Chain A
Amino acid sequence: QQQVKQSPQSLIVQKGGISIINCAYENTAFDYFPWYQQFPGKGPALLIAIRPDVSEKKEGRFTISFNKSAKQFSLHIMDSQPGDSATYFCAASSRSSGSARQLTFGSGTQLTVLP
């Protein structure tokens, strides 16, 4: 059972265009929603994150939009660049044992930005 559903699986965008990746969740225990970026041969790295009491967060060309009532959130990449070509994972975080927080990941979106 996939608790975080991510779409699309792959996305091709022209340089300068807008890339949009969508995620949806069910578990209301999730209280933090990060996006991770992964380049080939590397581990994922945190890109941007949002708490559910905020509807939007922007960092440079990257924006997360969050709709708590719909349990949906999305990543928008403005002015997409070839260097943004990577796999993007949405995730949802919940408290776990000790100080650990458990991440549940979406299935990933492979973004290709054409020059």
Chain B
Amino acid sequence: DVKVTQSSRYLVKRTGEKVFLECVQDMDHENMFWYRQDPGLGLRLIYFSYDVKMKEKGDIPEGYSVSREKKERFSLILESASTNQTSMYLCASSGGQGHEQYFGPGTRLTVT
């Protein structure tokens, strides 16, 4: 069974704080993704990585950065958290030419 784990289920941070969201997958997948999920907007891609140290911007990268130093781990960084970044953050991974993305349980981030 593919397992994608995210470091926290719930997180509360203050405006201006630097926030790290961690994601780990155990299936040796090449590709990893970060989405945010908001009611009525579905899932929107923030960044993805197709190899170690390789990253590409998704649809809404502003205010975010990512890091992938090891194949199994993909981090999302909010350099200076703002209230409009309050959301559910979902990590996913996929392997090779596989179409299926496997999702973690999500981190609900609240920025106050």
CB within 8 Å of B: which residues of A? Answer: 4, 6, 9, 32, 34, 41-46, 49, 89, 93, 96-108
- In the complex, chain A residues whose CB is within 8 Å of the CB of B97: 99, 101
Chain B contacts with A in 71-112, Cβ cutoff 8 A? 90, 92, 94-106
User: With an 8 A cutoff between CB atoms, is B48 at the interface?
Assistant: yes
- In the complex, chain B residues whose CB is within 8 Å of the CB of A44: 43, 90, 103
B51 pairs with A6, CB closer than 8 A: no
- In the complex, chain A residues whose CB is within 8 Å of the CB of B22: none
- In the complex, chain B residues whose CB is within 8 Å of the CB of A101: 31, 94, 97-99
B103 pairs with A45, CB closer than 8 A: yes
- In the complex, chain B residues whose CB is within 8 Å of the CB of A105: 35, 42-44
B90 pairs with A43, CB closer than 8 A: yes
- In the complex, chain B residues whose CB is within 8 Å of the CB of A42: 105-106
Count contacts between A and B, CB distance < 8 Å: 76
A100 pairs with B48, CB closer than 8 A: yes
CB within 8 Å of A: which residues of B? Answer: 4, 30-31, 33, 35, 40-45, 48, 50-51, 54, 56, 58-59, 90, 92, 94-106
Which 10 pairs of residues, A with B, have the shortest CB-CB distance?
A98-B50, A43-B103, A105-B42, A100-B31, A100-B50, A105-B43, A107-B42, A46-B100, A97-B50, A108-B42
Q: A4-B42, A41-B105 are in contact. List 16 more A-B contacts (CB 8 A).
A: A43-B103, A44-B43, A89-B42, A89-B43, A96-B48, A96-B56, A98-B30, A98-B31, A99-B50, A100-B30, A100-B31, A100-B50, A103-B45, A104-B45, A105-B42, A108-B42
Q: In the bound complex, what is the Cα–Cα distance between A104 and B43 (angstroms)? A: 8
Shortest CB-to-CB span from A26 to chain B, Å, is 15
Nearest A residue to B108, CB-CB: A41
A43 pairs with B94, CB closer than 8 A: no
Q: In the bound complex, what is the Cα–Cα distance between A45 and B42 (angstroms)? A: 14
Give the residue of A49, A97, A107 whose beta carbon is less than 8 angstroms from that of B56: A97
Q: Which of the listed residues B92, B96, B97, B99 has the most CB atoms from chain A within 10 Å of its own CB?
A: B99
20 contacts between A and B (CB under 8 A): A4-B42, A34-B99, A42-B106, A43-B90, A43-B105, A44-B43, A89-B42, A96-B56, A97-B50, A99-B30, A99-B31, A100-B50, A100-B56, A100-B94, A101-B94, A102-B45, A102-B48, A102-B58, A104-B59, A105-B35
